[in-house]
Chain A
Amino acid sequence: MKSKRDIVLLVALLITVVLLLFLNVGFVGAEIPFSDVLSILGGESNVENSSWTYIVEHRLLRSIVAISAGGALAISGLILQVFFRNPLAGPGVLGISSGASLGVAAVIMGGFAQQGTDHANMTVLAGIAGACGALFVLLFISRFVKNQLTLLVVGLMLGYFVSALVNIMFLSADQAETREYVLWGLGSFADVKRTEILTFVVLMCSGLLTSMFMSKGLNALVLGSDYAKSLGINTKLLRVGIIIVTSVLAAGVTVYCGPISFIGIAVPQLIRLISKSSNHVWIIPLCFLGGGFLGISSDVIVRFSDNSLPLNTVTALIGAPIIIWTIIKMNKSFASI
């Protein structure tokens, strides 16, 4: 049966991701013996304290962030692709990540950073607001633009427009603020603090769960909104769910890790090619693990380069060829674009 194949795929991906997690925590850039890593994680206290912080903060936390951020971007991309009926849609292309960036830029360079001691929460909210804003602008324009390809161009323009606004903000920002924003823009899984990690993971996992509950609606939505409605789907509710889930996932990742490109588009395409199922109950978790795989692989590469390669460079190097390859391959199967 088809679902058997998907279970195998799911388990295989899970094992790979866990192995990469061990690799990333235990070995990469290692000056600490692996046995020490294990005993540190096991809670033994006879190892030096600095090692503990190093392992946990610099390896375990960023690995967890890498997996959940990659997974979140992939799900966000998958849902947007079904919603806009376009295999090239994704949080990056449609300007949703840019919207989040605008929120972040406003907080970093708008002077909030100096006044407040902790501006993390504010950044998160501003980021989500920005992402939702971008999605609403896009939905509004999509009423007038019927051609899906044109809508992608609109999304790209939205992105350029936002970066122009950010550039204007640079004029009034001081050096420290500018530096903070530019560094954030390069992308990194290492910047989520220990105090924030729980919020981050909970945010991402609730996005995953909510989207799982939308699978039946997404299954029906492949026939278009009218057909979905005739199949008993509450399309209004589904639409609201899609907007919230995709914005929260994309914005959450963007705020904490920077505007990470390519994972959101590339993973759903790969999963659709590999998986034989058309039921989103399978495709969503597969995409999450696929995104997690790409996320942590990129992080392993970043750390192999001694953190000198920016994350976005790595995701582009991996993601762009995948996207071009799939465009060529699926030219036939998505006749409608």
Chain B
Amino acid sequence: MLVFNNIEVKIADRLLFVSRKVELKAGVVALVGRNGSGKSTFIRTILGDHELSSGVISLDGGPIEGYKPRSLSKKIAVVYSKPQLFGDHSVQEVLLLGRIPHQNIWGMNSQKDLSLVQNVAKNISIEHLLDKKFQSLSDGEKQLVMIGRAFCQSTDIIILDEPAAFLDVVNRKEVMALLKKVAKTEKKLVIFSTHHVETLQDDCDQLLLIENKEMIFSSNPNKFKELISKAFKLES
């Protein structure tokens, strides 16, 4: 689905990290690294907002730069750590915003959009929130809705930039379980960056670890703990 081929990520002239060839398949991928190691820049790179200094990221066989914003938005959906909304939207309206890439220039919601939103809401158990105002929800509920909005975009890939950064333990668990379920049942590739490394072997099946200016890939959950302890120089 998503392939990184000998990439080199820089900000201005400062090298953040390099990576050998990595191929990501459907499943849940954790992106781990210390502050400033380049996780967010990497996410922006995948989204086409930041240029690679060398190498290629290819999506379904074609280089990511070749995608127009609109076609990329049908392939990759994104969730940022802090939900922000200007306006008095209901939860249903927020979910419908995920349908924008599939709508014509007037942004009218079709019957299909409405039933898809209904389904997503049912799947992630936020049906009872649909008519509520987004601004009246708790932080955990808001983030669930934002994740649901990404599901409504009907993309193969979902990228989440520290989705659980502002959530409590219970909500975080819920979000992780949800991501796992979706990746499994709908064969999606879910990539999320995180600082919560303690439960990684349960949360995901692939790991991208940025360490010492290099991105390491592992698809063996039993090794995650060891890799991370070594990278962060933690006593285990």
Contacts and interface: CB of A to CB of B under 8 A. Distances in A.
B53 to A, nearest CB: 21
Interface string A27-51: 0000000000000000000000000
Interface string A200-223: 000000000000010110011111
B74 interface: yes
B88 interface: yes
Contacts of A278: 87-89, 93
Contacts of B63: none
A230 B93 contact: no
Given A215-B107, A334-B86, A232 B93 contact: no
Contacts of A336: 84-86
Contacts of A215: 105-107
A85 B100 CA distance: 19
Contact of B89 (A222, A229, A230, A281): A222
B189 to A, nearest CB: 15
Contacts of A227: 78, 80
A219 B73 CA distance: 15
B69 interface: yes
A115 B106 CA distance: 48
A138 to B, nearest CB: 17
A335 B135 contact: yes
A227 B133 CA distance: 19
Given A222-B86, A281-B107, A333 B133 contact: yes
Interface in B46-90: 47, 49, 69-74, 76-78, 80, 84-89
A82 B86 contact: yes
A334 B49 contact: no
Interface in A74-88: 81-82, 85-86
A226 interface: yes
B101 interface: yes
B119 interface: no
Given A227-B78, A229-B69, A231-B73, A216 B106 contact: yes
A234 interface: yes
Contact of B100 (A231, A281, A330): A231
Contact of B105 (A216, A222, A334): A216
A233 interface: yes
Closest 4 CB pairs of A and B: A232-B73, A232-B70, A216-B107, A232-B101
Interface of B: 47, 49, 69-74, 76-78, 80, 84-89, 93, 97-98, 100-101, 103, 105-109, 133, 135-136, 153
